Structure formats: structure tokens, C-alpha cells
Amino acid sequence: MSSLAIPAPGVRRQAFGGRQALIEKITGMGFCLPATTLLLLTSLVPLCVLVVMSFTDYELGALDIKSVGLANFGKAMSDPMFRRSLWNTLLYVAIVLPGSVCLGLLVAVLVHQRKRTRSFYEIIYFLPVTSTLIAMATVWQFLLHPRLGPINAFLQLIGSRQYAFLSEPSLALPTLAVIGMWQLIGFNMVLFLAGLSAIPRDIYEAAEVDGCSGSIDRFLTITWPLLGPTTMFVIVTTSITAFKIFDTVAVMTRGGPMGSSEVLLYAIYLEGFQYFHTAYAAALTVIFLVFILVFSVIQTFVLDRRTHY
Amino acid sequence: MRSESDSRRLSTTRPAWALLRRAVSLLFVHGFLLAGAVFMLLPFVWMLVTSIKPPEEIFTAQLRLWPKQFYGLENYRFALTSAPLLRFALNGVFICACILAVQLLVAIPCGYALAKLRFPGRQALFVLTLLALAIPVQVPALPLYIALADLGLLNTYFSMMVPFFLSVFAIFLLRQFFKGFPDDIIHAARLDGMSEFEIVWRIVTPSAWPAIAAFAVFSIVAHWNDLYWPLIVISDAKLAPPPLGMMFFSDAETGSNYGALTAAATILTAPLVVAFLFARRHFIAGITMTGVK
């Protein structure tokens, strides 16, 4: 074997090639076998089953199944609960997305300029990302409590009227959105900070020589355009995360009051795992997946551009 | 940046004016950042102080931060005795550890094969991996639930872990990392008579330590905090991971014993927060690396 290593590389590969290629084929397939099996069993086959199920009238435990065509999707379109939950989910995204992206960017720009206090702010703003949302949701519930919560006590102190944040239909969803922003701002801040440190410092110095010296000028002419790809990326990931809102609804409002905080995943959870309208829930899941795929396609496109940047 | 440009301006314009300008802008920046920081910290601070307050002080709803009477021992003792909180935390540790171990055992050889070996179906597998990357667990949840119910496996640790054994993200990440590993070293190892199995585990894997550490943080944070899937398959409180346990506990407490509830929340949030404070760089890298939580 070692004598083969001495001749030119081309010769070695020839003498070695056939056997090595065979070994590669066998080990390659062997190494991928567990992953492929799991991929099929836990992801792709369930996905196919889900799509097929969405065209049937299956309910958990039912013995005969028949095809109903697009009836489940038709039912969804006219189901007030589903329409409300889809609308609420989109509304939630529409509040959380601009809020957490703009504030995340603003905080990142301000924190980036700090030297001694940077890690101090970084830790504080990132803390909500690592915390267990369900536990913190319970705390938020207490903070927002109409009678016992400090927020209403504070409102009383400054002479404002008090709010039952989670039991007034017009306030429940915006309140959940604020909590969603609370969790996402630090996450987006860190993504923006990574984007900001990639901008070379001499660009700013060159701009200053050219007479661009105000911090707002500097932001608009340099930072913002160069952060473009990062911003796109943050927008897409925030949309996906916000679209999957479930935890705070399940713990804090359970869709109420009067359906004002019903969201898509919560509707799917209720239909599929509480009422056991399995086929109908499958149809709703397919609709959910379509939205996620649209976001993901944009993301792949954006990611692609980001790596070429 | 700011201090450099400002100091340059100091020498050209009147110093007093420049100093004032700088002071005002610093005041605004820190004022804004501190206000935001208060908003971020408010739930944590209030959680900690409420967990050491007696019920009378909680129910009078005063804006007093520090309790007049220290009631922490009672609240924490009540929380720990009325719900198996440590059990929830241990469940979380066990589930996260098992999921991570299987994810790595499955993804490392697959990532290596996709990066370095030529075999039939490689391209197809990679495309499927990318496709699966976009599918959140809520999508296969219904069929998986039915399958687990048919097999009589609901309410087991296995049922809680099985959808996450394969992390397409880990495969994707490790493939990218392994691609950068020098081919010469692999060739040399082959010539030395090492099997591909040994090459993966003894040569390539140790080099991927940064990627594995970042992925570990990502995986642990995701599964420690996951509620959706455990909520579906687990109804036995003894098996509950932290978020589900917290939900059972707050349901049982009917949401009024806030001293005990915040004590429970503190106990279940503490492990990750403490870990974050100690390994801040790893956490930030691990969680943002993905872009998607």
C-alpha cells in the first residue's frame, strides 16, 4: 500500500480508483441510511399522509374512510372560526413584524456604537430569547392582571384608566403581539449586530471626508443600504416565527375573549387534537404549510443572495 | 466611531458646544436603551420579587418592588411540594440530552457522506433535506400522532422525542462544515488503513467542534422550550417537560397563587438563563446561526 503512494497522484488514483469508488458508494449509502429512514418516517411519509387525509372524511378511530374531494377546504373557507384565526394570525404578524424589526434595528445601531456598555445591553435584550416562553407568559399574565398587576397599578398612579388587557376583545391580540415583540427584539438585534459588524469601518471614514457626517445621514447613505440583505433575512425569519404563534395563546387567552385571539396553529390544535376532526385539521395544516412554504421560498432566495453578497 | 468623529470636531469648533452636543446625544441614546432594557427586564424582575412576596402583599397590588416580609421559602417550598417541578426539569434535561445525542449520531455520518463521498442518490437526498428544512413539526404532527396512538406509544418519552431525532438542519450545517475539511487528510487516513467509520468519528468530528457546540445550544434551547408537541402526546404530568409542567401547574393553581406560580416560573426558567449568562457567545452563535428558531 505504501509503495503505491510514491508514484504520481494520477497513477495512484487509477490503481486505487475502482475499489475506492465501491467503498465510497457502500459507506456513503450506509452513512445516510439512518437519516434517510428517519426522514421518510418522520417527515416525508407523514407529509404525504397528511395531504391525502385532507381530501377524506377521516376522524380518529373511524373504520371506513371515503374521499370528499375539496370539501374540507371549502368548509374551511366558510368556517368563521378558521377565517377569524387566519385573519388574526396575519394581523399578529402585521403588528409583530414591523415592531420587532424596526426596534431590533434601532437597538442594534445604538448598541453597536457603544464600547464599554455593549455587552451589558446585549445580555439584557437577549435574555427573553433564551427564557422559557410558557413560564414567562404566566408572569406576563400576572403583570397584566386587571386588579393585581403592576402595569395597571402604574396606570392608576399616573391617573390613566385601567385596562383588562387580556379580556377585552380589542386588546387581547395587540397585547399578545407586544409580548411577541418582547421575545423577538433581542433576537433581531443580534442578527442586525452581525450585519453591522460586517460593514467595513473605512466606508464611514470615506463618507465623512465626502461631507456626510450627521449620524442620520450616515445611517441613510451607508448603513441602511448595506444592511439590505440582513434586513430581508430578518423580515422573513420574523414572519415565520410570528406566523407560528401558539404558546402565548395556549397559556394566556386560549383564543378568547370571544375568539379575538384565535390563531391558525391554535385552531389546528383544537380541531386535530381536542375535537379530533382529523381530516379537517389536516386540510387546515395544508393551508398552514402553504403559507410557511411561501415564506421559506422567499427565505431560500434571500439566503442565496446573502451568501453571494 | 462616534467618539472619533466627535473628538475631531472638538478641535475645529468651539469645545463647549461640541461637549454639550455629545453629552445630549449620549443622554438620548442611553435613555432610549435603558428604557428598552427596563421593558425587557420587567417580567424577570417582577417574577423574582413576586416569588418572595407573601400573598397579602401580592393582593394589595402596590407598586412596591421589595417585599416588606420575606416569604420566599414558603413560596418555593409550596411550589416544589405541590408540583414535581424538579421532575419537570429533569424530564427536560433527559429529553434534550437524548434528542441531541440521536440527532448528532444520525446527522454526523450523513453530513460527512453528503460532503465527502460519492454515492448514488446523494443529490436527491440533499434536495429532500433542503425541502424538509422548511417543514415545521406542526405539519407531520397529525399523522405522527395517529401512528403513535396505533402503536400504543402515546404518553412515553419516546413519543415526545421521535419527531426530532432527525434534524435536517444539523445535516445541512455539518455538511457545510465538513465540505471545508481538507481532502488530503482524509486521503492520508485512508492510506493508513483507517476505515471510513474511524475517519468520521476520530478525525472529522473533532474538527467540527464549533459547529457541533453551536448546534447543541440551538437544539437544547428549542426542545427545552417546546410546548406544541409535548402538549399533544403527553397527558401524564410525570413525563412533562418544563413548559408543559408549567402549564399543568398554573392550571392546577387556577392562576391565583402568584407567589407560587412565579416561584415555579423562576425554577423552570433558571437553568437556561444561567447557562446563557455563563456561555453568552455560544448561545448567541447557536441561536442566531439558524435565523429560524
A289 has a chain B CB within 8 A of its CB: yes
Residue B26 confidence class, pLDDT cut points 50, 70, 90: confident
Distance CA B119, CA A25 (A): 4
Residue A1 confidence class, pLDDT cut points 50, 70, 90: very low
* pLDDT for res B90: 92
Residue B223 confidence class, pLDDT cut points 50, 70, 90: very high
pTM: 0.85
Mean pLDDT of A245-250: 92
Residues of A in contact with B260 (CB under 8 A): none
* pLDDT for res A213: 67
Number of H helices, E strands in chain A: 15, 0
* pLDDT for res A2: 39
Between B161 and A158, the higher pLDDT residue: B161
A154 has a chain B CB within 8 A of its CB: yes
A23 has a chain B CB within 8 A of its CB: yes
Mean pLDDT of B181-187: 91
Distance CA B71, CA B53 (A): 5
Whether A241 sits inside 8 A of B221 (CB atoms) is no
* pLDDT for res A133: 87
Residue A207 confidence class, pLDDT cut points 50, 70, 90: confident
Whether A50 sits inside 8 A of B246 (CB atoms) is no
Task: Give the three cell numbers for residue B52.
Answer: 418572595
Residue in A141, A201, A293 closest to B134 by CB = A293
Identify the bridge partners of residue A67 per DSSP, sorted by sequence position. A56
Average pLDDT taken over every residue of chain A: 84
Q: pLDDT by residue (tens digit) across A165-192?
A: 888 888 899 999 999 999 999 999 988 9
Region for A282 from its dihedrals, namely left if φ exceeds 0, alpha if ψ lies in -120 to 50, beta otherwise: alpha
Mean pLDDT of B204-220: 88
Query: How far lies B146's CA from each of A33, A43, A65, B153, B287, in Å?
Result: 25, 14, 15, 10, 32
Report which DSSP code applies to A115. S
Residue A3 confidence class, pLDDT cut points 50, 70, 90: very low
A291 has a chain B CB within 8 A of its CB: no
Residue in B166, B273, B287 closest to A127 by CB = B273
Q: If you measure CA to CA, which chain B residue comes closest to A103?
A: B36
Residues of B in contact with A122 (CB under 8 A): 280, 284
3-state secondary structure of A67: strand
pLDDT at A23 over 90: no
ipTM of the complex in this document: 0.83
Whether B139 sits inside 8 A of A34 (CB atoms) is no
Q: pLDDT by residue (tens digit) across A94-136?
A: 999 999 999 999 999 999 888 888 889 989 999 998 888 888 9
Identity (one letter) of the amino acid at A215?
Answer: S
Residues of A in contact with B44 (CB under 8 A): 127, 131, 139
* pLDDT for res B1: 44
Q: pLDDT by residue (tens digit) across B51-71?
A: 888 877 777 766 777 777 777
Residues of A in contact with B144 (CB under 8 A): 42, 46
Residues of B in contact with A65 (CB under 8 A): none
Distance CA A192, CA A109 (A): 8
Question: DSSP labels for A253-281?
Answer: ITT-STTTT--HHHHHHIIIIIS--HHHH
Mean pLDDT of A281-299: 89
Residue in B3, B141, B269 closest to A131 by CB = B269
* pLDDT for res B229: 94
Give percent above pLDDT 70 in chain B.
Answer: 91
Residues of A in contact with B109 (CB under 8 A): 31-32, 34-35
The greatest distance separating any two alpha carbons of chain B, rounded to the nearest whole angstrom, comes to: 81
Between A4-18, A78-92, A186-200, the lowest mean confidence (pLDDT) is in A4-18
pLDDT at B13 over 60: no
SS (H, E, C) B206-268: HHCHHHHHHHHHHHHHHHHHCCHHHHHHCCCHHHCCHHHHHHHHHHHCCCCCHHHHHHHHHHH
In contact, B13 and A80? CB cutoff 8 Å: no
Between B80 and A308, the higher pLDDT residue: B80
Residues of B in contact with A289 (CB under 8 A): 135, 139
Distance CA A125, CA A108 (A): 10
Residue A138 confidence class, pLDDT cut points 50, 70, 90: confident
* pLDDT for res B12: 52
Whether A127 sits inside 8 A of B261 (CB atoms) is no
Give percent above pLDDT 90 in chain A.
Answer: 38
A51 has a chain B CB within 8 A of its CB: no
Residues of A in contact with B257 (CB under 8 A): none
Ramachandran angles phi, psi of B149, nearest 5°: -65, -45
* pLDDT for res A24: 86
Residue in A35, A50, A299 closest to B139 by CB = A50
Region for B183 from its dihedrals, namely left if φ exceeds 0, alpha if ψ lies in -120 to 50, beta otherwise: alpha
Ramachandran angles phi, psi of A67, nearest 5°: -75, 140
pLDDT at B49 over 60: yes
Q: If you measure CA to CA, which chain B residue comes closest to A280?
A: B142
Distance CA A3, CA B220 (A): 49
* C-alpha distance from B21 to closest chain A C-alpha (Å): 12
* pLDDT for res A8: 46
pLDDT at A66 over 80: yes
Interface mutation target, options B4, B117, B184, B266, chain A, most CBs of A under 10 Å: B117
Mean pLDDT of A51-76: 85
pLDDT at A35 over 50: yes
Q: If you measure CA to CA, which chain A residue comes closest to B109?
A: A31
Cβ neighbors of A266 (< 8 A, separation 6 or more) are A85, A246, A249, A250, A254, A255
Between A69 and B113, the higher pLDDT residue: B113
Task: Give the three cell numbers for residue A137.
Answer: 407568559
Average pLDDT taken over every residue of chain B: 85
Whether A35 sits inside 8 A of B40 (CB atoms) is no
Using CA atoms of B78, B84, B86, B88 in order, give the dihedral in degrees to the nearest 10: -130
Highest mean pLDDT among A56-70, A151-165, B120-134: B120-134
pLDDT at A295 over 50: yes
Task: Give the three cell numbers for residue A15.
Answer: 490503481
A93 has a chain B CB within 8 A of its CB: no
Interface mutation target, options A39, A132, A244, A263, chain B, most CBs of B under 10 Å: A132
pLDDT at B7 over 70: no
Residue B254 confidence class, pLDDT cut points 50, 70, 90: low
* pLDDT for res B293: 36
Whether B287 sits inside 8 A of A42 (CB atoms) is no
Q: pLDDT by residue (tens digit) across B117-146?
A: 999 989 999 999 888 888 888 999 999 999
